[in-house]
Amino acid sequence: MKVLVAVKRVIDYNVKVRVKPDNSDVDLNNVKMAMNPFCEIAIEEAVRLKEKGVATEIVVVSIGPKVAQEQIRTSLALGADRGILIETEEKLESLTVAKLLKAVVDKEQPQLVILGKQSIDSDNNQTGQMLGALTGMAQGTFASEVVVEGDKVNVTREVDAGLRTVGLSLPAIVTTDLRLNEPRYASLPNIMKAKRKPLEVVSPADLGVEIKSTQTVLKVTPPAERSAGIKVADVAELVDKLKNEAKVL
Amino acid sequence: MTILVIAEHDNAALNAATLNVVAAAKEIGGDIEILVAGEACAAVAEAAAKIDGISKVVVADSAAYKYQIAEAMGDLVAELGAGYSHILAAATTTGKDFMPRTAALLDVNMISDIVAVESADTFVRPIYAGNAIATVQSSDSIKVITVRGTGFDAASAEGGSAAIEANATDKTSATSAFVSEELAKSDRPDLTAAEIVISGGRGMGNGENFEILYKVADKIGAAVGASRAAVDAGFVPNDMQVGQTGKIVAPALYIAVGISGAIQHLAGMKESKVIVAINKDEEAPIFQVADYGLVADLFDAVPELEKLL
């Protein structure tokens, strides 16, 4: 079966985030960018499905500026077969992203679509579910285990109360949580091979999707700073402070 | 302007997170109605009707909603919610699961995880793991919003007497079904509702060592949490994870034990009123946000703490 994986180029998760002095946005100038960590887990899951003989082809799609080809190439080096970049310089909201992905789903007809549960920049946690609604597909969000059996997939989800497993008819959508797998690193030969794998570039207009924005970011500010407190010498002093100074015990 | 709040519950009891969502709805202003979708959930509807400031409770009681499957909930809330100005749910794993489906079906964007209301169309939400705070204005005809509980003081659970109305809409999903669940069993308070939280990190070494935290927790009525590192290492289950992608907590007292303080963990607990850090590495970043820091071996300090409490 064909698996479609969506990946996003975001700020590297190790980079210290700074807000621009004019409070218009986060400063991304000269900042290291990388694949969203949850998307790496999505690619890894697709590759494992292919290694098990469940998946036959892995198509990776990204939406963003031309440089997002880097993240597609990384995905190809990790084991995806071909890539699609929907090239746009505009900052997109989740509904538009979901509509663009729906256009790709309509064309590619994958049996499984795997996405990260959220991107670590906007922290929205929306796109996979929106794509589910637009395509009419069932969804297994925040997945920690994915088992394909015939025309069904069982997805174990990390929920607030523990773990819950849902059974979905294929085609279906999976969004990844942290413990689904541990992504591998790309080997040098595979990085070389990835350069020759096909990568198609299309525009939102090619897919017939109009870019619409309904949200305006009025300002972006740094969070309230929490100042470091004091060091206590021992447990006795700690308990004394909690009881008599902070009064929380 | 009428706001629809989706109740969070387990068919037996109303989850306290709903009270924080109602508080957010009150700040937006207007009539507030609550939808209780579940199976055999009459007790939940009665509890919802008692919340202060609610004008109506709608109950969709059907096997379709027993497990609040996202496909069924998304369809139901999109259909019932079409006439409202705002649709609000808690930013729990349930709300996060179905609300984006609802938004897409209504052809509107969604605003996730709000922590403050500026006006009926402008909301504040953390981005980049809480390292930046965005103020976002929405021009959508219906505002679909999830609410982070720690941003709003709970509305009063008593004082209301809203009418309860049944709704027979059946949106049974043909493509998704509940299979099984493994729920954490604990007599300790719920992490997101506890007044005191004590969390362990990689420094705990293994799952058995969490026992020393459980002893402290049981003595002071605390909930026990963990850092991602401790969950990834298999020390404790995922429902204990505090952080950017786990649970967001803001108790009166948060005690971090053997946790270095990665930004993803801080994102989940730095709104706590008082933070205590116990770590043997005095350079650990957790000390930069702690009100009281104790540089010590946790295996000496925690048992001593238990004795002195």
Give the per-residue pLDDT at B184: 83
Residue among A95, A168, A226 whose CB faces B176 most closely: A168
- Give how far B31 is from chain A: nearest CA, Å: 24
Report how far apart the first and last C-alpha atoms of chain A are (Å, whole number).
58
User: What's the whole-model pTM score?
Assistant: 0.95
- Comparing CA positions, the residue from B177, B220, B168 lying closest to residue B196 is B220
Task: Check if CATH label 3.40.50.1220 holds for domain B196-308.
Answer: yes
Q: Do B291 and A137 touch (CB under 8 A)?
A: no
- Answer yes or no: do A239 and B309 touch at CB < 8 A: yes
Domains of chain A: 2-221 (3.40.50.620)
Record the tokens describing residue A224, joined without a space. Answer: 């309230």
Q: Do residue B293 and residue A163 have CB atoms under 8 angstroms apart? A: no
Backbone conformation region of residue B30, classed left if phi is above 0, alpha if psi is from -120 to 50, else beta: left
| C-alpha neighbours within 13 Å on the C-beta side of residue B37 | 30
pLDDT at A111 over 90: yes
pLDDT at A78 over 90: yes
What is the CB neighbour count within 10 angstroms for residue B62?
20
Out of B238, B287, B301, the one facing A228 most closely (by C-beta) is B287
> CA-CA distances (angstroms) from residue A181 to A43, A147, B73, B216?
10, 13, 29, 33
| Residues of chain A found within 8 Å of residue B231, distances taken between Cβ atoms | 179
Residue ranges per domain, chain B?
Answer: 2-167, 196-308
Contacting residues of A for B136, CB less than 8 Å apart: 215-218
Q: Contact A223/B131, CB-based, under 8 Å? A: yes
Q: From chain A, pick out residues whose CB is under 8 angstroms from the CB of B130.
A: 223
Q: Give percent above pLDDT 70 in chain A.
A: 100
Nearest CB neighbour to A126, from listed B112, B264, B294: B112
Note whether A44 and A184 are within 8 A (CB): yes
Q: Under an 8 A CB cutoff, do B113 and A123 touch? A: yes
| Alpha carbons A19 and A21: distance in angstroms, whole number | 6
> Which of B123, B245, B286 should be substituted to probe chain A, the one whose Cβ sees the most A Cβ atoms within 10 Å?
B245
Neighbours of A82 (CB within 10 A): 16
Class of domain B2-167: alpha beta
CB pairs under 8 A between A and B: 260
All residues of chain B having their beta carbon less than 8 Å from the beta carbon of residue A100 are: none
Query: pLDDT truncated to tens, each residue of chain B (309 aa)?
Result: 999 999 999 999 999 999 999 999 999 999 999 999 999 999 999 999 999 999 999 999 999 999 999 999 999 999 999 999 999 999 999 999 999 999 999 999 999 999 999 999 999 999 999 999 999 999 999 999 999 999 999 999 999 999 999 999 999 999 999 999 998 888 899 999 899 999 999 999 999 999 999 999 999 999 999 999 999 999 999 999 999 889 999 999 999 999 999 999 999 999 999 999 999 999 999 999 999 999 999 999 999 999 999
Q: Nearest CB to A236: which of B244, B291, B308?
A: B308
ipTM for this model: 0.95
